[in-house]
Amino acid sequence: MGGETLAFVEAFPRFLLWTGAAGVMLVIASTIYVLLTPWKELALVKQGNSAAGLALAGAIAGLAIPIASCLASSVTLIDLVIWGIVSLLIQLIVYRLVDVILTDIPKRIEQEEAGAAIVLIAAKLSSALILAAGLWDPALQRF
């Protein structure tokens, strides 16, 4: 076998394990998010509520961005899990803060107010990007 093939054979199981761990963390975080929100996104989406679909899509993307950053910069699988959990907890706290600041978001989402959903998406994605940048530090070792 060539060097590239051997490298693939050696790295592929690690790739599956790490990517699978990140995927599991995203599913768990998304489930926690759905359980913590005062409205039932999935039920509203099934009813055709586009604002709920937008809000849920923004939440999932907002949770995935910090996980991706952890996946890109973690040195060990334990490192990935620890920083992944920290980033997911911070994202859930940020969601709660935005929910408090933007009053009546649940009611607005239930009434299909796309504007409220879009502002919520922007807050989730913006905080996710900032969090991801803070997490990604493979060479600088600032902390």
Residue 23 reports pLDDT greater than 60: yes
* pTM for this model (two decimals): 0.84
Residue 106 reports pLDDT greater than 70: yes
Supply the mean pLDDT for the chain. 86
- Dihedral of the alpha carbons of 64, 70, 71, 76, in degrees to the nearest 10: -150
84-108 average pLDDT score: 81
- Rounded Cα–Cα distance for residues 92 and 88 (Å): 6
Higher pLDDT, 88 or 12: 12
- Rounded Cα–Cα distance for residues 99 and 52 (Å): 14
Q: How confident is the model at residue 13 (pLDDT cuts 50, 70, 90)?
A: very high
126-131 average pLDDT score: 90
Residue 136 reports pLDDT greater than 80: no
Report pLDDT for 36: 79
Could you read off the pLDDT of 26-57 as tens digits, one per residue?
999 899 888 877 778 888 999 999 999 999 99
Radius of gyration, alpha carbons of the chain = 18
Q: CB-based burial of residue 143 (10 Å sphere; 0-12 exposed, 13-18 middle, 19+ buried)?
A: exposed
Q: How confident is the model at residue 140 (pLDDT cuts 50, 70, 90)?
A: low
Contacts of 84 (CB under 8 A, 6+ apart): 21, 22, 25, 66, 67, 70, 71
Domain spans in the chain, listed from the N-terminal domain onward? 21-135
Residue 57 backbone zone (phi > 0: left; psi -120 to 50: alpha; other: beta): alpha
Nearest 5°: CA angle at 34, between 28 and 36?
Answer: 100
- Rounded Cα–Cα distance for residues 136 and 92 (Å): 19
